[in-house]
C-alpha cells in the first residue's frame, strides 16, 4: 500500500504511519487538500491479438471519490460495464497523495487500431477530461489458433456431454396439426449432474407445445461411443404458423465443477467434484435446430362445418334421456374419438332453434392428457325443449382434415327422437312405494313410435268379418236347428203315440162293456169298467202306470183335485160294486148295466 | 307330353319366384322401411300408402302412423293408429301411442265407458255367437221340457229364465251392432296434407255442402266423426259443382253436425272395401 521510495527519519516515519492510519480511519477524507486533480488513461497492453483481451485503465490522481461520467462506445471493441476499482494513498516526497484506478475489460471484435477519444468525467464538483488512448488489435497468431481449436474441441465434448434430441414423427405438418413427439435429454454418465433445473423449453413461436410433466428415465443408453442416462418427455407439438419453421429446445442442468479457489488441502481428492467437494454451476443444454415445413390447409373442398379439427376422428352424440317433460333440460354429450389436435379443437356448432334452447358446451377430455393427441373429447350441451311432441335432437355435423390422406371428411351424428310430454309440472316424490308398484305398468319409451321391420300378417280389410257375415256362423246354426226339429218331432211323436194307445185301450174297454151288456155278462162289464176307470183317471192325472192303481189310490187321486164329493162317492161306489162283483159274483140285469154304462160315461166327463 | 312339362315347369318357377320375391305389398313395405331408415319420410309414406292400397297389416298402419306423427300430421297419425288397432286390438304399444297422439293433438280420446268397452264394435261377433248359443240351448231345453218333462212348473221357470237371458244377449248384440255399423261410417278428421303442420287450424263442419258456406262448428284433427245415414239407410252425400263429394257428419258425441269435404277426413274402413 505504501509507495514511498525515499529515506525518512524514524520520527518522520512514525508521523507518516499516523497520517496513513488516520486517512484509513477517516474514509470521508477522499481528497487531500492541496493535491491537484488529474486523470490518466491507457490500454494495458496497448497491442493485442484478436484472440486476447486487454484492460482500459483510468487513473484519477488527487481524489478517491467515485467519478461520474459515461464511457464512449467504440465499434471495434466491446468494453465491460463493471470496472474493477482500486484506491490508494501514498506520500511522494513527503507530500501525501491519493488516487483511484478503474480497470475496464476490453474484448476486441475486429483487427485494427481502435481509439477511445477524450471524454469528460465529474469528480465531486470538478469536471475533468480523460485523455484519449488507442489500442492496436492484430491478427491471431499460431498459438491463438491452437488455443481456439482446443476450446472448440472442449466445447464439442461439452455438447456431447449433455444434449437434447427432439424426435418428430412427420417431415411436414399442416397448420394447426398436432403430432405426438418425444424430447430426450441425454446426460453423459461421467458428467457430475446434481439435478435438472427445468424441463426443456422451446425456442420459436411457430409451434405450441403441451405441458411437459415428469420424464421417463432410461439408463445405460449408448450414443457417440458414450454411455448416457436419457430423460424422455412425450409431448404434443402443434404447428401454429405456416411456412418453413425452425424449432429448438433448451434446458439447464446443475453440474458440480472443481472449486476455483485453492483448497486448504492440497490433495486432488478434495478438489474432485465427484465426491461433492466441488461447487455447482448451471449448464445450459440445447437441441439442434430442427427445420419443419408447416403447410397451409387446402381450401379446395373445405366443408362449411370444418372448424379446425385435424386428425382422424369419429363422432357420435348421446342424449341422457329420450323422454322429458316440457321445460326439463336434457344433457347431450357429443363424443369425438380418435387421434388429432384435441387441444386446439373447437366445439361443434349447435345453435338454439324453435325446438330447443341450447347452452354453450362444457369440455372434457379422456385419454392421453400429456400429449392431448389421442383420446376422446366430450362436449356436453344442455338442451331445453321449447315445445311438446315428438321432436328430433339436432343432427351435429363434424368435419375434420385427415393429414395422412390430405382430405376433408365429414361425420354426422344420428337423429335422436325426443318425446316431450306437455304437462305434468310437479310430481310428489314422497310415495316411493306407489311409484315402484305402478312402474310395472309403465311401457318403455324406447319402444314408442318405433318402426316395425316386418309387415306382419296381411288382411284384405282393416276390419275383420263379423260373425253375421260369416257363412260358417250361419252354417253352424243349422246344427241346433236340426237338433231342435228332431227333438220336437220325437217328442211330438212320443206324445202322439201315448194318446193313441190310451184311445185304443179306451175304445177296447168301451167295446167290452157294450158287448157284456149285449151278452148280459156282468163280470166282464165290471172288469172292463174298473179297467176303464183306472185308465182314464190315471191318465187324466198323468200317473205313469194307471193299470197298477187300486180303488183306494184312484179315490185318493180324485180327492187330490177339486172334484165334487158326489162324483167321487159315485165313482167310489162303482169301484166297490166292481170289486164285489168280481170277487162275490153278484148278478145284474142288462137294463141296469146299460144305465150304469151311461152313468159311468157322465161321471168320467165330470172329472177335473 | 311336351306341353305338360312346359306348364309344370312354368308353375314350379312361378311358385318359387313368388316365394323368393314375396308379394307386392311386402316389397312396398320393405321399400318404405328402407326409405324411413334413410331419413326420407315422404318417400316412406308414399311406399306405405301404396302397400295399404293392396292390403293391410297392423305393422303397416303402425309405421304409417309413426311417420305421420313425426311429420306432425296428427290427424293422419290417429287415423292410422286406429286402423292398426282394428287389426290388432290387443297391441298395447299401439294403444299407448294412440293415447299419446290424442294427447298431442289435444283431441278428446275415444269414450271408454262400460257401454263402449263391453259392447264395442269388435265385440259384435262375440255377442252374436253368445246370443245364438243362448237361443239354441234354451230352445232345445225348452223342447225337451215340453215333450219329456211332465212338470209344467219347471218348464215355466226355465222359459222365464231363457227369455230373460236371451233378451240380455240380444240387447248386447243389438248395441254392439249399432257400434259396428257406426264404425263402418266412422271417419277421422284430418287437415289436408299441405295445411296439417299448422296445428291451430281446425276442420269446419259447414251448414251446407259448399266451400263458401260458413262453418256450423269445427273439429280438431284426429277427432272422430260419424257420417249420417239417409232415409234409405244409405250414407248422406252430396256432389258439389266442382265435383267434390261432401258428407253430412256429426261428432262422436253427436253434439256437432255439419257437412264435411271428402279430403277433410279419412275413412276408418275403406268405403270400397265395405261394399
Per-residue pLDDT reduced to its tens digit, B106-132? 888 777 777 777 888 888 889 999 999
Within 10 A of A75 (CB to CB), how many other CB atoms are there? 9
> Residue B62: which of A415, A452, A464 has the nearest Cβ?
A452
Q: How confident is the model at residue A437 (pLDDT cuts 50, 70, 90)?
A: very low
Tell me whether residues B96 and A448 touch, CB distance under 8 A. yes
Q: Give the pLDDT score at B198.
A: 47
Dihedral, A400, A402, A407, A409 alpha carbons, nearest 10: -40
**HSE, side-chain direction, 13 A CA sphere, residue A462:** 25
Give the residue with greater pLDDT, B157 vs A359.
Answer: B157
> Mean pLDDT over residues A535-552, rounded?
84
CA dihedral sign, ordered A419, A424, A430, A435: negative
C-alpha distances in Å from residue B86, one per residue of B90, B202, B257: 9, 26, 25
* DSSP E strand boundaries for chain B: 186-189, 203-206, 215-219, 224-227, 237-239, 245-251, 257-261, 265-267
Q: How confident is the model at residue B50 (pLDDT cuts 50, 70, 90)?
A: very high
Tell me whether residues B143 and A467 touch, CB distance under 8 A. no
Q: How remote is the C-alpha of A421 from its chain's centroid?
A: 27
- What's the rounded Cα separation, in Å, for the pair A141 and A154? 20
Q: Which residues of A touch B23 (CB under 8 A)?
A: 458
Architecture field, domain B186-274? Roll (2.30)
> Mean pLDDT over residues B200-227, rounded?
80
Whether chain A has a CB inside 8 Å of the CB on B237: the answer is no
Distance from CA of B10 to the nearest CA of A (A): 27
Tell me whether residues A473 and B128 touch, CB distance under 8 A. yes
Domain positions in chain B: 2-105, 115-182, 186-274
- Tens of pLDDT, residue by residue over A120-155, are 888 888 888 899 999 999 888 888 888 888 888 877
A441: pLDDT strictly greater than 50 = no
Mean model confidence pLDDT for chain A: 80
Kindly report the backbone phi and psi dihedral angles of residue B23, in degrees, each rounded to the nearest multiple of 5, phi listed first. -80, 170
**Residues 6+ positions from B237 with CB-CB distance below 8 Å:** B245, B246, B247, B248
Tell me whether residues B143 and A495 touch, CB distance under 8 A. no
Q: How confident is the model at residue B171 (pLDDT cuts 50, 70, 90)?
A: very high
Tell me whether residues A487 and B59 touch, CB distance under 8 A. no
* ipTM tops the 0.85 cut: no
Topology at the third CATH level for domain A302-421: Immunoglobulin-like (2.60.40)
- What's the rounded Cα separation, in Å, for the pair A385 and A36? 97
CA proximity to A397, closest of A486, A510, A306: A306
The DSSP secondary structure of A12-74, one letter per residue, reads HHHHHHHHHHHHHH-TT--S-TTPPPEEEEEEESSEEETTS-EEEEEEEES--SPPEE-PPP-
Distance from CA of B187 to the nearest CA of A (A): 13
Q: Give the pLDDT score at A278.
A: 67
Tell me whether residues A452 and B63 touch, CB distance under 8 A. yes
* 8 Å CB contact between A284 and A252: yes
CA proximity to A543, closest of A558, A522, A530, A528: A558
At B65, is the secondary structure helix, strand, or coil?
helix
Tell me whether residues A480 and B100 touch, CB distance under 8 A. no
Tell me whether residues A389 and B104 touch, CB distance under 8 A. yes
A66: pLDDT strictly greater than 90 = no
- What's the rounded Cα separation, in Å, for the pair A148 and A146? 5
Tell me whether residues B183 and A463 touch, CB distance under 8 A. yes
Tell me whether residues B128 and A467 touch, CB distance under 8 A. yes
Domain B2-105 has CATH 3.40.190.10: no
Distance from CA of A209 to the nearest CA of B (A): 44
Cβ under 8 Å to A: B residues 238-257 = none
Residue in A with minimal Cα distance to B68:
A449
CA proximity to A87, closest of A110, A111, A108, A58: A58
Distance from CA of B210 to the nearest CA of A (A): 31
Cβ under 8 Å to A: B residues 49-88 = 51, 55-63, 66, 69-70, 72, 83, 86-88
Most confident of the following: A41-55, A543-557, B234-248? A41-55
Q: For A146-294, which CATH class? A: mainly beta
Exposed, middle or buried: residue A233 (CB in 10 Å: 0-12, 13-18, 19+)? buried
- What's the rounded Cα separation, in Å, for the pair A555 and A332? 104
Topology at the third CATH level for domain A10-140: Immunoglobulin-like (2.60.40)
Choosing among A458, A481, A491, A542, which should be mutated to test the B contact, i.e. which has the most B CBs within 10 A? Answer: A458
Q: How remote is the C-alpha of A471 from its chain's centroid?
A: 65
Tell me whether residues B97 and A448 touch, CB distance under 8 A. yes
Choosing among B87, B88, B221, B268, which should be mutated to test the A contact, i.e. which has the most A CBs within 10 A? Answer: B87
Whether chain A has a CB inside 8 Å of the CB on B99: the answer is no
Give the residue with greater pLDDT, B193 vs A426.
Answer: B193
A8: pLDDT strictly greater than 90 = no
* 8 Å CB contact between B45 and B196: no
> Mean pLDDT over residues A30-58, rounded?
82
CA dihedral sign, ordered B137, B143, B148, B154: positive
- What's the rounded Cα separation, in Å, for the pair A319 and A317? 7
Residue in B with minimal Cα distance to A470:
B125
| Cα Rg of chain B (Å, integer) | 25
> Residue A484: which of B59, B62, B143 has the nearest Cβ?
B143
Q: Which residues of B touch A542 (CB under 8 A)?
A: 150
Q: Give the pLDDT score at A257.
A: 75
Amino acid at each position: 500500500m505504501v509507495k514511498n521510495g525515499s529515506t525518512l527519519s524514524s520520527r518522520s516515519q512514525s508521523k507518516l504511519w499516523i497520517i496513513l492510519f488516520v486517512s484509513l480511519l477517516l474514509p470521508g477524507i477522499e481528497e487531500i487538500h492541496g493535491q491537484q486533480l488529474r486523470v490518466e488513461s491507457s490500454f494495458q497492453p496497448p497491442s493485442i491479438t484478436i484472440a486476447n483481451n486487454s484492460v482500459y485503465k483510468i487513473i484519477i490522481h488527487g481524489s478517491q471519490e467515485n467519478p461520474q461520467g459515461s464511457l464512449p462506445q467504440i465499434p471495434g471493441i466491446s468494453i465491460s460495464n463493471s470496472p474493477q476499482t482500486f484506491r490508494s494513498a501514498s506520500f511522494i516526497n513527503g507530500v501525501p497523495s491519493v488516487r483511484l484506478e478503474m480497470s475496464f475489460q476490453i474484448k476486441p471484435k475486429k483487427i485494427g487500431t481502435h481509439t477511445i477519444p477524450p471524454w469528460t468525467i465529474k469528480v465531486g464538483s470538478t469536471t475533468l477530461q480523460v485523455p484519449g488512448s488507442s489500442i492496436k488489435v492484430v491478427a491471431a497468431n499460431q498459438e491463438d489458433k491452437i488455443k481456439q481449436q482446443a476450446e472448440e474441441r472442449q466445447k464439442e465434448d461439452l455438447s456431447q456431454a449433455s444434449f437434447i434430441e427432439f424426435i418428430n414423427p412427420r417431415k411436414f405438418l399442416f397448420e394447426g396439426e398436432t403430432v405426438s413427439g418425444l424430447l430426450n435429454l441425454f446426460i453423459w454418465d461421467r458428467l457430475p449432474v446434481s439435478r435438472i433445473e427445468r424441463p426443456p423449453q422451446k425456442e420459436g413461436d411457430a409451434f405450441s407445445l403441451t405441458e411437459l410433466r415428469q420424464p421417463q428415465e432410461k439408463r445405460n443408453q449408448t450414443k457417440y461411443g458414450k454411455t448416457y442416462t436419457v430423460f424422455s418427455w412425450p409431448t404434443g407439438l402443434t404447428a401454429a404458423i405456416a411456412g418453413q419453421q425452425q424449432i429448438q429446445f433448451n434446458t439447464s442442468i446443475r453440474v458440480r465443477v472443481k472449486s476455483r479457489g485453492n483448497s486448504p488441502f492440497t490433495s486432488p481428492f478434495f478438489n474432485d467434484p465427484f465426491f461433492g467437494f466441488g461447487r455447482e454451476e448451471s449448464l445450459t443444454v440445447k437441441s439442434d435446430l430442427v427445420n419443419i415445413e408447416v403447410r397451409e390447409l387446402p381450401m379446395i373442398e373445405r366443408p362449411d362445418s370444418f372448424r379446425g379439427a385435424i386428425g382422424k376422428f369419429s363422432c357420435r352424440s348421446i342424449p341422457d334421456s329420450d323422454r322429458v317433460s316440457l321445460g326439463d333440460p336434457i344433457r347431450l354429450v357429443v363424443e369425438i374419438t380418435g387421434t388429432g389436435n384435441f387441444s386446439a379443437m373447437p366445439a361443434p356448432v349447435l345453435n338454439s332453434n324453435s325446438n330447443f334452447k341450447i347452452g354453450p358446451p362444457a369440455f372434457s377430455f379422456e385419454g392421453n392428457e400429456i400429449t392431448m393427441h389421442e383420446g376422446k373429447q366430450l362436449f356436453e350441451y344442455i338442451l331445453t325443449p321449447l315445445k311438446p311432441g315428438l321432436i328430433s335432437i339436432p343432427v351435429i355435423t363434424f368435419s375434420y382434415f385427415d393429414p395422412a390422406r390430405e382430405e376433408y371428411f365429414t361425420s354426422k351424428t344420428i337423429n335422436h327422437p325426443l318425446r316431450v310430454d306437455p304437462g305434468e309440472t310437479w310430481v310428489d316424490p314422497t310415495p316411493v312405494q306407489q311409484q315402484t308398484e305402478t312402474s310395472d305398468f309403465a311401457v318403455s319409451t324406447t319402444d314408442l313410435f318405433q318402426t316395425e321391420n316386418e309387415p306382419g300378417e296381411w288382411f284384405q280389410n282393416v276390419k275383420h268379418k263379423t260373425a253375421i257375415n260369416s257363412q260358417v256362423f250361419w252354417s253352424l246354426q243349422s246344427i241346433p236347428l236340426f237338433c231342435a226339429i228332431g227333438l220336437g218331432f220325437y217328442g211330438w211323436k212320443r206324445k202322439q203315440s201315448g194318446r193313441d194307445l190310451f184311445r185304443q185301450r179306451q175304445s177296447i174297454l168301451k167295446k167290452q162293456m157294450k158287448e157284456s151288456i149285449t151278452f148280459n155278462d156282468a163280470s166282464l162289464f165290471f172288469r172292463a169298467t174298473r179297467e176303464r176307470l183306472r185308465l182314464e183317471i190315471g191318465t187324466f192325472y198323468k200317473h205313469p202306470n194307471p193299470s197298477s192303481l187300486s180303488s183306494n189310490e184312484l179315490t185318493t187321486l180324485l180327492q187330490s183335485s177339486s172334484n165334487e164329493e158326489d162324483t167321487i162317492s159315485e165313482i167310489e161306489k162303482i169301484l166297490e160294486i166292481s170289486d164285489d162283483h168280481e170277487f162275490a159274483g153278484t148278478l145284474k140285469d142288462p137294463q141296469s148295466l146299460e144305465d150304469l154304462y151311461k152313468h159311468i160315461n157322465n161321471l168320467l166327463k165330470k172329472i177335473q | 307330353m311336351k306341353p305338360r312339362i312346359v306348364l309344370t315347369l312354368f308353375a314350379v318357377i312361378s311358385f318359387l319366384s313368388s316365394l323368393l320375391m314375396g308379394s307386392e305389398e311386402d316389397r312396398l313395405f320393405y321399400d318404405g322401411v328402407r326409405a324411413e331408415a334413410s331419413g326420407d319420410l315422404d318417400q316412406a309414406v308414399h311406399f306405405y300408402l301404396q302397400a295399404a292400397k293392396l292390403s293391410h297389416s297392423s305393422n303397416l298402419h303402425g309405421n304409417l302412423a309413426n311417420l305421420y306423427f313425426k311429420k306432425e300430421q296428427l290427424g293422419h297419425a290417429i287415423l292410422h293408429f286406429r286402423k292398426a288397432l282394428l287389426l290388432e286390438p290387443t297391441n298395447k304399444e299401439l294403444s299407448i301411442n294412440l293415447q299419446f297422439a290424442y294427447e298431442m293433438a289435444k283431441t278428446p280420446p275415444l269414450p271408454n265407458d262400460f257401454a263402449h268397452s263391453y259392447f264395442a264394435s269388435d265385440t259384435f261377433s262375440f255377442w252374436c255367437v253368445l246370443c245364438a248359443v243362448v237361443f239354441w240351448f234354451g230352445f232345445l231345453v225348452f223342447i225337451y221340457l215340453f215333450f219329456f218333462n211332465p212338470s209344467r212348473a219347471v218348464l215355466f221357470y226355465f222359459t222365464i229364465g231363457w227369455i230373460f237371458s236371451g233378451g240380455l244377449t240380444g240387447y248386447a248384440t243389438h248395441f254392439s251392432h249399432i257400434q259396428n255399423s257406426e264404425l263402418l261410417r266412422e271417419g277421422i278428421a284430418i287437415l289436408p296434407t299441405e295445411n296439417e303442420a299448422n296445428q291451430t287450424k281446425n276442420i269446419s263442419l259447414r251448414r251446407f255442402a259448399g266451400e263458401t258456406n260458413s262453418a256450423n262448428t269445427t273439429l280438431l284433427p284426429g277427432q272422430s266423426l260419424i257420417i249420417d245415414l239417409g232415409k234409405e239407410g244409405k250414407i248422406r252425400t252430396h256432389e258439389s259443382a266442382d265435383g267434390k263429394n261432401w258428407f253430412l257428419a256429426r261428432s262422436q258425441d253427436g253434439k256437432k253436425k255439419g257437412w264435411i269435404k271428402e279430403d277433410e277426413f279419412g275413412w276408418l274402413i275403406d268405403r270400397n272395401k265395405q261394399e
